[in-house]
């Protein structure tokens, strides 16, 4: 059997820590957001979700791929932080100001006025700070300080969780403006702490704007910039178009379901940046092994989550006591469609990470651009009539489109073969899990938590039986955690 690459067991441990911390914080945040939506109402929360999504799309201008480019170069060039980061830092600060102005102009053009523009400014400021925090965390990822980055990845959510709980506890305090204010305060606190940690680990965090150096950095980050903008459009434009083309209430239904998909995908967004940094610094001989590992690490937990939602997804809306049965049923339908997206991402998202980190960012951008155009066309056609359900189905079609593109690029552009055996085992494991769950539900009626516990045990046996996880790898993981 091939021995793990040097440092791979430690990398395993870093992934475990990042996932564990997000599992401790993210579910609490999702439950709290459910409560906030139930208190504010679907229409008010739909407006908030649309403004947040518009912010994510517009504020891609504040990054222009500098975060991913910085991670890649920090991992590959030991002197990058001291020699080039001051220019990168100053450039990023300037782009923050430009992006916020562009966001407000875009909001005005789309018809938002008065208090809505004020909310947009607050949300934009909060997400700018959050995105800026991701930029600063890139230094830790590039220097392979994955455990520190794992702790930082949940810090803002933990602070915000406490702030919103305080608002919920005070009668009448939870309103849209106070909720947005809490988000700004939590993001600002996190930035201050990040600066302190960067100074302690790597020395002074300087900012020095140089036109020649800035032009060079922007040219190098341009492929990543295009991907950042296109991914933002591809994932978030649905919410904005739904609120504008259908209604804020339909956007609220979609947000209630999308939140759970976003929570599940947080696992992927925690793991994939770690593999991005690992891919960028790996030797060619390591890439094939890392891809096979990443495919399994990403997919196995998500397969079980998808199966749970398909069979028992309605239980996640237990907090919506102010919603009608028809409203909960609509959110449940959206949820199950959206989790088919999670299934597709579980199989293929790692290919995008590999391609982007090894020089194929421009090709990936072309695929995502095609998906954006397809998504906008489908939204304009179907959203006015079908609302939130159209948004969910359109998202699934587009995810399938980009995933097929990743497979084609990996097979045609790289020397790394598509791990067909791993994919076959993952499909087999998911099919066996769904079959066993269906049989169990036909025979007896159990409480959802007992049923889920039994199926988790069954899935563990399926994973071992199909060879998706080997005992030697479990030993490596245990050893890394003990260290």
Q: What is the 3-state secondary structure (H, E, C) of 264-309?
A: HHHHHHHHHHHHHHHHHCCCHHHHHHHHHHHHHHHHHHHHHHHHHH
Strands (E), 136-261: none
- Cα 249 from Cα 255, distance rounded (Å): 10
Q: How far is CA 183 from the centre of its chain?
A: 18
- Cα 167 from Cα 36, distance rounded (Å): 10
Q: How far is CA 359 from the centre of its chain?
A: 22
End-to-end CA distance of the chain: 24
- Cα 290 from Cα 275, distance rounded (Å): 8
Half-sphere exposure of 403 (CA within 13 A, CB side): 17
What pLDDT sits at residue 68? Answer: 65
The Cα angle at residue 308 between residues 257 and 273, in degrees rounded to 5: 70
Please name the helix (run of DSSP H) or strand (run of DSSP E) that holds residue 39, with its range, or none: helix 8-40
- Cα 377 from Cα 396, distance rounded (Å): 14
Question: Residues 1, 473: contact at Cβ < 8 Å?
Answer: no
pLDDT over 90, % of the chain: 47
* SS3 label, residue 105: helix
Q: Is 3 left (phi over 0), alpha (psi -120 to 50) or beta?
A: beta
What pLDDT sits at residue 79? Answer: 64
Length of the chain: 483
- Cα 372 from Cα 383, distance rounded (Å): 15
Residues of the chain with pLDDT under 50: 1-6, 477-483
Q: Residue ranges per domain, the chain?
A: 8-482
What pLDDT sits at residue 70? Answer: 64
In terms of Cα–Cα distance, which of 482, 480, 450, 361 is closest to 413? Answer: 361
Question: Residues 62, 92: contact at Cβ < 8 Å?
Answer: yes
- Cα 187 from Cα 269, distance rounded (Å): 19
Half-sphere exposure of 284 (CA within 13 A, CB side): 5
SS3 content of the chain, % helix, strand, coil (to 5): 85, 0, 15
201: its two tokens: 């680990």
What pLDDT sits at residue 481? Answer: 42
Gyration radius of the chain over CA positions: 22
Question: Residues 34, 320: contact at Cβ < 8 Å?
Answer: yes
What pLDDT sits at residue 460? Answer: 94
Rounded to the nearest integer, the mean pLDDT of the chain is: 84
In terms of Cα–Cα distance, which of 58, 381, 99, 73 is closest to 228? Answer: 58
User: pTM of the prediction?
Assistant: 0.81
* SS3 label, residue 320: coil
In terms of Cα–Cα distance, which of 54, 36, 43 is closest to 248? Answer: 43
Q: Tokens 């009668």 label which residue?
A: 171
Question: Residues 142, 74: contact at Cβ < 8 Å?
Answer: yes
Q: How far is CA 148 from the centre of its chain?
A: 19
Question: Residues 293, 477: contact at Cβ < 8 Å?
Answer: no
The 10s digit of each residue's pLDDT in 402-449 is 999 999 999 998 888 899 999 999 999 999 999 999 999 987 888 999
Q: Tokens 């967004």 label which residue?
A: 269
- Cα 473 from Cα 309, distance rounded (Å): 28
418: its two tokens: 């598509």
């Amino acid at each position: 059997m091939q021995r793990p690459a040097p440092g791979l067991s430690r990398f395993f441990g870093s992934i475990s820590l990042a996932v564990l911390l997000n599992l401790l914080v993210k579910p609490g945040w999702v439950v709290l957001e459910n409560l906030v939506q139930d208190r504010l109402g679907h229409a008010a929360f739909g407006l908030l979700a649309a403004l947040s999504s518009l912010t994510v799309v517009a504020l891609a201008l504040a990054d222009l791929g500098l975060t991913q480019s910085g991670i890649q170069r920090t991992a590959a060039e030991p002197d990058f932080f001291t020699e080039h980061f001051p220019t990168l830092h100053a450039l990023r600060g300037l782009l923050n100001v430009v992006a916020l102005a562009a966001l407000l102009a875009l909001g005005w053009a789309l018809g938002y006025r008065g208090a809505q523009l004020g909310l947009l400014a607050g949300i934009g400021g909060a997400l700018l700070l959050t995105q800026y925090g991701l930029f600063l965390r890139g230094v830790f990822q590039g220097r392979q300080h994955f455990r520190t980055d794992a702790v930082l990845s949940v810090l803002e959510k933990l602070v915000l969780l406490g702030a919103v709980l305080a608002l919920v506890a005070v009668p009448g305090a939870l309103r849209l403006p106070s909720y947005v204010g809490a988000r700004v305060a939590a993001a600002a606190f996190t930035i201050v702490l990040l600066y302190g940690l960067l100074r302690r680990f790597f020395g002074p965090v300087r900012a020095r704007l140089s036109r020649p150096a800035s032009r060079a950095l922007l040219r190098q980050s341009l492929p990543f910039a295009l991907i950042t903008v296109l991914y933002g459009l591809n994932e978030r434009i649905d919410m904005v178009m739904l609120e504008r083309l259908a209604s804020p209430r339909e956007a609220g239904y979609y947000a209630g379901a999308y939140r759970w998909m976003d929570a599940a995908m947080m696992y992927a967004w925690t793991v994939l940046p770690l593999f991005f940094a690992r891919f960028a610094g790996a030797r060619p001989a390591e890439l094939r092994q890392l891809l096979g590992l990443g495919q399994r690490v990403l997919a196995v937990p998500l397969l079980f989550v998808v199966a749970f939602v398909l069979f028992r997804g309605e239980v996640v809306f237990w907090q919506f006591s102010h919603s009608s049965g028809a409203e909960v049923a609509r959110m449940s339908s959206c949820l199950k469609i959206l989790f088919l997206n999670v299934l597709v991402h579980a199989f293929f998202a790692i290919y995008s990470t590999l391609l982007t980190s090894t020089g194929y960012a421009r090709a990936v951008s072309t695929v995502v651009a095609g998906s954006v155009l397809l998504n906008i066309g489908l939204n304009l056609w179907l959203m006015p009539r079908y609302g939130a359900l159209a948004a969910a189905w359109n998202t699934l079609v587009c995810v399938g489109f980009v995933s097929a593109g990743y497979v084609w690029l990996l097979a045609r552009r790289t020397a790394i073969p598509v791990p067909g055996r791993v994919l076959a085992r993952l499909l087999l494991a998911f099919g066996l899990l769904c079959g066993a769950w269906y049989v169990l539900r036909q025979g007896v009626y159990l409480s959802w938590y007992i049923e889920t516990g039994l199926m988790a045990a069954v899935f563990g046996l399926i994973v071992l039986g199909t060879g998706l996880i080997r005992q030697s790898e479990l030993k490596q993981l245990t050893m890394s955690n003990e260290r």
